[in-house]
Structure 1
Amino acid sequence: MNAKDPRSPGHPSRRPTRRQRAQRSGQPTADAHRPDGVRLQKVLAEAGLGSRRACEQLIADGRVMVDGVTVRELGTRIDPETQSVSVDTMPITTHTGKVYLAFNKPAGVVSAMSDPEGRPSLQDYLRDRPERLFHVGRLDAETEGLLLITNDGELSNRLTHPSYEVSKTYLAEVRGPVARDVGARLKSGIELDDGIAHVDSFRLVDSTPGYALVEIVLHSGRNRIVRRMLDAVGNPVQRLVRTQFGPIALAEQRQGKVRELRPDELGKLMEAVGL
């Protein structure tokens, strides 16, 4: 027998594996397939990954994994309530009935679904939503910017739990000038009434006589923490805007606008808290 013959002893076999044969024959991958489940391309389309045809192409290209197994078969069915799905290694949310929104909160709106004092509240912007929603963390009434709203209790709990250290980014207009050592002081820690607080990063964005614009990143969720820290270093806040919550950025979203998170944003948010 010729040494180059693939049937010769010691020569690696070219016989396809069981999974490769299943892929070629169009049979579902047993590791992921649930006979009574929902077609994978339908799950992807409903998660916002594109049209059904576009999602079929994602599967065919080997970009979709279910429970850690790459799936290429269009006949695969899954249970979206119990199985994990990722596209290009980014987890996506397949649970039905879950809502994930980003709201650019104007000043004067309280972070509550209703207000006994009659002030503007989140309900004024969410009247058309049938779901029972709640906000993730809060912004004080005069602080503007990004507020996440959902009905996913587990995600909300993780985003607000200190152990996950999800960062928040703020732009603050303050009274100037800002002393050169302010950033170092804020990073090393400021003594407040409820304990020491510190920022992850501090950057002077702009400065004019009597005025400065600074960017602060921190993961603390304590009440009015940014205002109290800047007041403690002698730079009271005139205006405060949260521009980012974890991987979700406010970007060009108009004030007062509510939008659904994109699948890639939601995947990054889930990844940040281990979901």
Structure 2
Amino acid sequence: PAGRFGAKTGGRAGSKPGRPGAAPGARSGGQGGRPKPPGAKAFGRERFGQDLGPVRAPKPKRAGRPADEIDVHNPEGVRLQKIMALAGVASRRVCEEMILDGRVEVDGNIVTELGVRVDPEQVAIHVDGIRLQLNEHLKYYVFNKPRGVVSTMEDPEGRRCISDFLKNKDKSERLFHVGRLDAETEGLLLLTNDGELTNRLTHPSYEVPKTYLVQVRGPMAQGVGAQMKEGIELEDGLAQVDSFKLVDSTPGHILVEVVLHSGRNRVVRRLFDAVGHPVERLVRTQVGPIRIGDQRQGSIRVLGRQEVGHLLASVGL
């Protein structure tokens, strides 16, 4: 139609006769043109003043089974693409494409039909292998624990504890701290009321990696990192790190990053004691896929939906 791109088209195609004797298919301006591909519409110079090429055929819709024949379909539920959009995955239109592309699973079944309805509180939905947490009653937080705070919700000795940093609303949610940090260790501590996630994160069989920054006195002899990766015998058995990396060095001090999956009590401090480098400062910066980043010390933040999904996936949920 005229004016579609804000410019006059000069009339409809074919409104002016071509040059007498012009070859069939030649443009009206007197210049020969390439023949239009089979099935192409008049979408070129005659219509908009420029050759835009052939029109692409629309992508055919996939023929699928009726929704009520899908095993996970619940006629009283909510459309799957709406649940995904509300969970922050993407817009509803993009979520529909993800379903059609076979990227969405409900209770282990790949769903490729747009009419499927499910009860979000009764099923497990994965997108590209990442679980969507749809239970609004489950809460997930990251606490950047300062030095001197004990990893308990209540302390009979009156020392500062986790509940001192919670707001009144959060205190009523009966949160658990996932694992522990000793009073002198700083950094990332997960808080949640998801009991299944807590059990898996603390169970040794899932081997969730934890990353620490360790400050010790220097210099450090060569081979200490290899020794820790090979394993050091402690009083409760062999302990080892997954990785050992020198981060920084200043006169008299060394900063090391170690990653390990052991959850034994004070294991990082005991490892460095065993090699003759007692820890001066210890900060946990990451648990599984969750990082502390630049979060202010003493603050508590809510985990994003994507972070929760990656955390659940790291322990097979």
Alpha-carbon offset, residue 208 of structure 1: 2.3
Structure 2 stretches of 5 or more lacking a match? 1-59
| Selected match of 2:247 from 191, 194, 205 | 205
User: d(CA) in 1 for partners of 2:282 and 2:312?
Assistant: 27
Give the number of aligned pairs: 252
RMSD of the TM alignment (CA)? 2.2
Among all aligned residue pairs of Structure 1 and Structure 2, give the percentage whose two residues are the same amino acid: 58
| Cross-structure match for 2:164 | 124
User: d(CA) in 2 for partners of 1:207 and 1:146?
Assistant: 24
| Cross-structure match for 2:145 | 105
1:58 equivalenced with 2:112 (yes/no): no
Q: Structure 1's 176 and 88: CA in aligned 2 closer, same or farther, altered over 3 A? A: same
**Superposition map of 1:1-275 within 5 A:** 17-19=63-65, 22=66, 30-49=70-89, 54-55=91-92, 57-62=94-99, 63-67=103-107, 68-73=109-114, 75-127=115-167, 128-129=169-170, 130-275=172-317
Rg (Cα) greater in structure = 2
- Do 1:40 and 1:77's aligned partners in 2 also have CA atoms closer than 8 Å? yes
Q: Please, what TM-score do these two structures have when normalized by structure 1?
A: 0.84
3-state SS, counterpart of residue 181 of structure 2: coil
Structure 1 stretches of 5 or more lacking a match? 1-13
Q: Structure 1's 102 and 28: CA in aligned 2 closer, same or farther, altered over 3 A? A: farther
More displaced stretch, 38-47 vs 139-148: 38-47
Alpha-carbon offset, residue 179 of structure 1: 1.1
Alpha-carbon offset, residue 48 of structure 1: 4.1
3-state SS, counterpart of residue 58 of structure 1: helix
Q: Please, what TM-score do these two structures have when normalized by structure 2?
A: 0.73
Cα deviations by residue, 1:61-114 (Å, 9 ceiling, x for unpaired): 4354323323452x5321223312122332211234111111111111111101
Ranked by relative contact order (alpha carbons within 8 Å, sequence separation 6 or more), the top structure is 1
Q: Structure 1's 60 and 193: CA in aligned 2 closer, same or farther, altered over 3 A? A: same
Residue type of the partner of 2:178? V
Alpha-carbon offset, residue 43 of structure 1: 3.3
Residue type of the partner of 2:145? K
User: d(CA) in 2 for partners of 1:189 and 1:16?
Assistant: 55
| Cross-structure match for 2:13 | none
Q: Structure 1's 15 and 241: CA in aligned 2 closer, same or farther, altered over 3 A? A: closer
More displaced stretch, 59-68 vs 170-179: 59-68
